[in-house]
Amino acid sequence: MNNEMQTVYYFIPNNSFSIELRIYRINEKYPIYKNEDYFILMAENGEFNLTEKALNETIHNWNSLGRFEAVGDGNHD
């Protein structure tokens, strides 16, 4: 990662699952980085590169799979 990337959210799954061969484990914290004009959603074995629109859709669509915490909201370490 370069110095321009910053963590903006964490995704914390309610259950372990995989999507498009990327694995998420229950109660782990997966960072979402902002890198210039796109976002990187990390997984155990890869990542998703998302536009801002795609990230917003993912947050909405994955609502039942886990929770998203904004950095600085006080709900994480």
**Domain assignment present for 62:** yes
**Domain assignment present for 25:** yes
Task: Report residue 44 as tokens.
Answer: 């155990």
Residue-wise pLDDT for 11-49, tens only, equals 999 999 999 999 999 999 999 999 989 999 999 999 999
- Identify the pLDDT of residue 73: 57
| Burial profile 6-42: b = 16 or more Cβ within 10 angstroms, e = fewer | ebebbbbbeeeeeeeebebeeebebbbbbeeeebbbb
Residue 77 has pLDDT above 50, yes or no: no
- Identify the pLDDT of residue 5: 83
Domain that holds residue 29: 6-70
**Domain assignment present for 60:** yes
Residue-wise pLDDT for 40-71, tens only, equals 999 999 999 999 999 999 999 999 999 999 99
**Domain assignment present for 41:** yes
Altogether, the residues listed in the chain come to a count of: 77
What's the total number of domains in the chain? 1
